Structure 1
Amino acid sequence: MAQTPSNMLPLGTPAPDFRLKDTNSNDHFSFADLKGTKGTLVMFICNHCPFVHHVLPEILMIVNDYRVHGLGIIAISSNDVVKYPQDGPDEMTEFAFRNRIDFPYLYDETQDVAKAFDAACTPDFYLFDNTNKLVYRGQLDDSRPGNSIPLSGSDLRAAIDAVIYNRVLAAPQKPSIGCNIKWK
């Protein structure tokens, strides 16, 4: 399994705007529609990536722990569905249902949103503060499929806590590692 690191978009970058179809509701949403009052977590994921499957239980716990504190949660899939049909919108709906993903799971058909975020892999995490400025981009934690390190979400949780409770973020931020985004 290939291990692609995330690109480290410069901190302070404003959240790229978008309008994408949510495969859970069939509605279209922009970043402004989904942002949280305290901050917003944008995740690039997909249905078939073993790295996403590995971290999904912790992602779901993070969502449940933090959205009640004003964190907006957005997942986006940008893979080429011609070459990877298992990542298509209908399959995204099924994947979300099967895995109890009850937050927006958006389909980036043109891949323009992934390019705007400089996303490179799945999973790839971007945390924006309440002014929509990037404050964290990087890994969930040090756990990877097969490395025997238990999931904790420690890196991402520390960043979210800093945003919600107005704390200084610890440095350095480590890139996420995952499957590369399947470009057209």
Structure 2
Amino acid sequence: MAVSPPVCDFGASWHDFLLPDGAGRMHGRDMIAGPNGTLIMFICNHCPYVRAIMDRILRDAHDLMDQGIGVVAISANDADSYPEDGPEHMARLAKAKGFRFPYLHDADQTVARAYGAECTPDFFGYNADGQLQYRGRLDASGRTAGPPGARRELFEAMMQIARTGAGPRDQVASMGCSIKWKAA
């Protein structure tokens, strides 16, 4: 079922975390933060929305990193119910696709809950002061990739944040599969 998260809560503070990647190495928010801002993405391996835009996510994430913006991807799906979203599969995907940023596993889902993540993909763009300035989509893609020349909304927003500290006021919410929460 497709889910759209709420639009940006401008100025909301980011949350600290310490999570393992697929190889068990720990990464914290402050280790990832970039001098020009930070992008925190909630993604997963099995989501068709993420799969449709994975190459675009990587293109934009890597381009942002080259501009001094820290990037991290976090999978918070229940790996017991969705084994493809487990750490070993995450590590395999990150290696195969050439991720230059950490891909972390939020096994107890506390980080996703703290951020208010709702779907995959869900993008949170912070300025250098750790204030939320973007919570929108990557581009006009949905369950299938948009046109090849689609406007790079996330990339443009993060570059604006890097330059000015403030994100665009007009943002279109991301859309994707709901995060697969563990049963209470």
TM above 0.5: yes
The runs of 5 or more residues in structure 1 that have no matched partner are none
Aligned residue number for residue 174 of structure 1: 172
Residue of structure 1 in register with 2:16 after alignment: 17
Deviation of 1:97 after TM superposition, in Å, equals 1.3
Q: Aligned partners of 1:100, 1:80: CA distance in 2, in Å?
A: 24
Is the CA contact 2:121–2:175 (under 8 Å) kept in the aligned structure 1? Answer: yes
Which letter does structure 2 place at the counterpart of 1:5? S
Alpha carbons 1:122, 1:180 under 8 Å: kept: yes
Structure 1 position 53, deviation (Å): 0.7
Contact 1:58/1:153 (8 A) holds in 2: no
2:82 is matched with 84
* Mapped contact 1:58–1:151 kept (Cα < 8 A): no
Distance (Å, rounded) in 2 between the aligned partners of 1:98 and 1:11? 35
1:149 is displaced (CA, Å) by: 3.5
| TM-score of the aligned structures, taking structure 1 as reference length | 0.92
Please name the residue that 2:134 is paired with.
Answer: 136
Identical columns (%): 37
Give 3-state SS (helix, strand or coil) of 1:135's partner.
strand
Structure 2 length normalisation: TM-score?
A: 0.92
Q: State which drifts further: 149-158 or 104-113.
A: 149-158
Q: Letter of the aligned partner of 1:17 in structure 2?
A: D
Task: State the partner residue of 2:51.
Answer: 53
Amino acid at match of 2:5: S
C-alpha distance in 1, partners of 2:124/2:149? Answer: 19
Post-superposition CA distance 1:13-61 (Å, at most 9, x none): 11111110022x5311111111001000000000001110111111111
2:113 is paired with a residue whose SS is helix
Moved over 4 A (4+): none
Secondary structure class of the residue paired with 2:164: coil
Paired residue type of 1:119: A
Question: Cα–Cα, structure 1 residues 133 and 169, in superposed 2: closer, same or farther, change >3 Å?
Answer: closer
In 2, are the aligned partners of 1:46 and 1:52 still within 8 Å (CA)? yes
Q: How do 1:1-184 residues align onto structure 2 when only pairs under 5 Å count?
A: 2-8=1-7, 10-23=9-22, 25-146=23-144, 149-150=147-148, 152=150, 154-166=152-164, 169-184=167-182
CA deviations 1:45-91 (Å, max 9, x no partner) are: 00001110111111111122121211000000000011101111111
Letter in 2 for 1:26: G
How many corresponding residue pairs?
A: 182
SS of structure 2 residue aligned to 1:165: helix
**For the Cα contact (< 8 Å) 1:141–1:151, is it kept in 2?**
no
Contact kept in structure 2, 1:125 and 1:176, CA below 8 Å: yes
Q: CA–CA distance in 2 between the matches of 1:99 and 1:167?
A: 31
64-73 or 127-136, larger mean C-alpha shift: 64-73
Q: Which amino acid aligns with 1:12?
A: G
Unpaired runs of at least 5, structure 2: none
